[in-house]
Chains A and B, each alone.
Chain A
């Protein structure tokens, strides 16, 4: 403590400290401390008034004793007295004691506040600074009540010294964080925003932190900060490395301030075109600088420079609106993937994960697959390998799933124990999600069990069984594969579980082969029986009784096993009961009854993959949703609706014998398909909220709407209060959309009522069903609404989503178009060149063709165009058009009443920056609408 140490030595304190240091044992130290405490107590209680110096010395000793880890229960009053001293060191020790040892003794707080008030009014910048730091350190509600009004005044007063302004800004920030309700916005806010223009960069730095936090909750008040922040940033990034003098850190101009400004900009959507242009320039400059040779070899230089770069990249990703910048960001990160600094490799892998979920950069991220795989194999640091696993998971799609899954599997053999379970979950999810060939899926899961059986959770092996049961094309293969896997002399118990279950259901499919005859199957399973735990044995007993039904020829063998003492008299109640009941069942029931009771399991209802739910739980929802969203492909999985179903473990997953065997009602067959279109469901009532008028469409809503034509997931709307995210999936003429309403504030939304509004003539074409959501949305919380969609016939207009709620006493009303467009009901159709042109000619009736010639609104990039056409829903047909620069697509629009074949052709003209789009379908309105929708995209 230099204030004590330099020039103000307190001899008594020095002696005391050196005594403590010389203590030979803990006991001696405690003894010395107790002696000192008694001494101080008597001094404080004594009749003689102590002078400031003595008070300071004793308070300082108490503080020192406290810092050694002992409790202090007196001296507060003396410390408070020191606050009113005019000597700096006395005041400072007083404040130090209060900051460290304050309690909510209300009597004391009043005195402290009084002293602080005097110091704030003292116009002595050092005293003001001490007082502000004390408020910022304590930050209690009482202090907020006393000073929340005063601090803003100090902050914006014209004659306040710069250093005091800085402290005042952060002091106010602290008060706002603890008691936002006590810091009312007022005239001062606009003046605080102008601190971004302040001459003194230290003031700007402190003010930017304050504004960033305030702007999150009071966006309107601070919206002018966007253009000021951009100007400031622009001045910093274009300055020469010495312009900012003291604020240049290892040749990087004001890195802290730059990072803070970039972060402030993340609070707002991309700004208006003029400001946006300047911001884009700044971001480009930052990206350009990354390519310049370093100005210093010191790691501080590169860290500071890259801190700004990574912050810029995260702003680019956050805005997700400039394809050029996104691709540049991706290239930059690609360079870092191979950087010799471990830190940069780590951060590049991490940032790329978020880039992988942007439409614009997903493909660019994928090009780095080999580097990432290599990182998985060669990185020496497990936290870096973990990031590589995350990135592989994020960049996975149908095109690379087999490779990625194979690499993850091979990594799993040597992976660190701490991350094995997560890798197992990821592999299981990817294998399921991108399984074109379910044999591959079954192989993958069995490999998982073989390599990392201990880390394969119940969810994973339940899931493989659910999938095998729901897909009859894979059942025979699954039976054969598990049978072969079980041949291994030592196999994991999880494999015995899966094997037992699958053979019990589908063993008959391989029983024709004498090498896997019923008896062989039974003997194989039974050879594992004694090595297994009770739950697995219980499962195997159920398999045996299923065998009795499937294979009458092994009935007596199985009855003998069930009848043996080790089963019938087993100490475990569950096993004993199963043995008794199954034996009885096999004896008394007729073949018909057996066949009914032991019938094959009905398909499982569609539901969210339970493993996905588990990964979400493990990693927090955001990570997983991100990854989910990357995928442009339509989900064709049997299972995989993203909705968590409360009953997460199905009847078949629990080892309860009755549910297992009977499967009556417990797991009813609910085939994938349309939700009931009428009946008990709450149909959306357009006029249910007739009392309040519907708001006009939110600005920018059109743009956002267009962005969703070629994608299904993303943020539909965002203002400073509310974020609306969408996830949707479509299959044939049906769809399901999950709408996520996020409350961005810390205050509850009340009477929260989202309503779907179909214009009159849309209602007969499109069926929407949803349930109302909870009318209260807590601060920071998110609620979800599911909309079931049925396309009855082709349509043009889009439904409107109107949201009304109360926020802090004001009524909010937001309307946005819901991006349910005709192309969502596309099924891609692959066809040969010959077929294509034959059909093209067949659709030559002038009403069937619609053509549009238009100017390119975005850079004409082949890969992006391809991705958009695929995202639009049609198949992209390669090598069909004689001109390779052209794009050709085909698909079928599914409606409830009819199916409409569609062909499209897009001819770019790079020189003129124009496109010609031609649509041919059997229905004029469809051609018209699809042409409109797709034209907006380029």
Chain B
């Protein structure tokens, strides 16, 4: 590294997510989204390590952690922990608010959080980047998609999915 104060020569795009995990207080993984290629083994190890570290932290502690060469930004919602990995130069606070907006969207649209839902939130986050920050626009896009659906049979509510990751 060259000397000098101004050596952040490779700025990334402020909050480029490496991955996002959602796990319960019992360390059960509820949701995962990986934006970097990792082997399954590596993913499992990462998840286990992070859940352990994050769950061990006390309520008033700060929401940021150094972990390997990444920064972890986490936040607890009821019994669920959202946990994002960002790069060293990325903005922690804005990441915290990405989590919050994510939760708001999940809440607003689904009523409750479901494992499969994350795929439909590409309107908000795509290719590691925030795409659309306006809540109304994201929801509008998602509702438009819904309108295209054929109306058939009985309504199958998304909540049915919620419990599908059973613990044995």
Contact = CB atoms under 8 A, between A and B. Distances in A.
Interface string A310-343: 1100100111100000000000000000000011
Nearest to B165: A68
A87 B150 contact: yes
A102 to B, nearest CB: 13
A89 B93 contact: no
A2 B109 contact: yes
A621 B1 CA distance: 6
A604 to B, nearest CB: 25
A267 B9 CA distance: 7
B145 A3 contact: yes
Q: Is the interface of A mostly helix, strand, loop or mixed?
A: helix
Nearest to B101: A249
B101 A20 contact: no
A173 B129 contact: yes
B141 A246 contact: no
Nearest to B134: A246
Contact of A725 (B3, B120, B163): B3
Interface in A218-251: 246-247, 249
A interface, how many residues as a size bin? 35 or more
Contacts of B64: 343, 346-347, 383
Q: Is the interface of B mostly helix, strand, loop or mixed?
A: loop
Interface in B132-168: 132-137, 141-142, 144-146, 148-158, 160-161, 163-166, 168
Given A307-B93, A713-B4, A89 B11 contact: no
A780 B157 CA distance: 50
A343 B63 contact: yes
A2 B158 CA distance: 6
A5 interface: yes
B40 to A, nearest CB: 10
Nearest to B57: A381
A782 interface: yes
A14 B4 CA distance: 61
A1 interface: yes
B1 A202 contact: no
Contacts of B101: 249
B9 A723 contact: yes
A714 B165 contact: no
Given A7-B149, A8-B152, A310 B131 contact: no
Contacts of A475: none
B55 interface: no
Contacts of B1: 621-622, 625, 725, 740, 742, 782
Contact of B62 (A246, A384, A718): A384
A162 B82 CA distance: 30
A205 B130 contact: yes
B158 A307 contact: no
Nearest to A171: B127
B38 to A, nearest CB: 15
A383 B158 CA distance: 39
Contacts of A88: 145, 148-149
A23 B7 CA distance: 57
Contacts of B41: none
B137 A300 contact: no
A17 B161 contact: yes
Interface in A52-68: 64, 67-68
Contacts of B165: 68
B97 interface: yes
Contacts of A208: 13
A246 B148 contact: no
A421 B127 CA distance: 39
A507 interface: no
Interface stretch (A252-260, A489-497, A684-692): A252-260
Contacts of A10: 156
A700 B104 CA distance: 48
A205 B126 CA distance: 12
A3 B149 contact: yes
A8 B150 CA distance: 6
B146 A3 contact: yes
Interface stretch (A209-217, A408-416, A461-469, A911-919): A209-217
A403 interface: no
Nearest to B132: A202
A586 B154 CA distance: 100
A770 B39 CA distance: 46
A206 interface: yes
A418 to B, nearest CB: 11
Interface in B2-53: 2-15
A310 B9 contact: no
Contact of B146 (A6, A87, A209, A725): A6
A166 interface: yes
Interface string A146-187: 000000000000000001001100110110010000000000
Given A383-B64, A714-B6, A1 B158 contact: yes
Contacts of A212: 11-14
Given A2-B117, A8-B152, A724-B2, A170 B161 contact: no
A304 B94 contact: yes
Q: What are the 8 closest A-B residue pairs judged by CB atoms, nearest first?
A: A725-B2, A714-B4, A9-B156, A88-B148, A307-B93, A740-B2, A174-B127, A713-B3
11 contacts: A1-B116, A8-B153, A9-B154, A11-B153, A89-B150, A170-B129, A259-B91, A260-B14, A381-B61, A384-B62, A625-B1
Given A303-B96, A317-B5, 18 more contacts: A1-B119, A5-B156, A9-B154, A17-B161, A18-B160, A202-B131, A216-B11, A254-B133, A307-B94, A314-B8, A317-B6, A342-B62, A343-B64, A346-B64, A381-B58, A723-B2, A726-B3, A742-B2
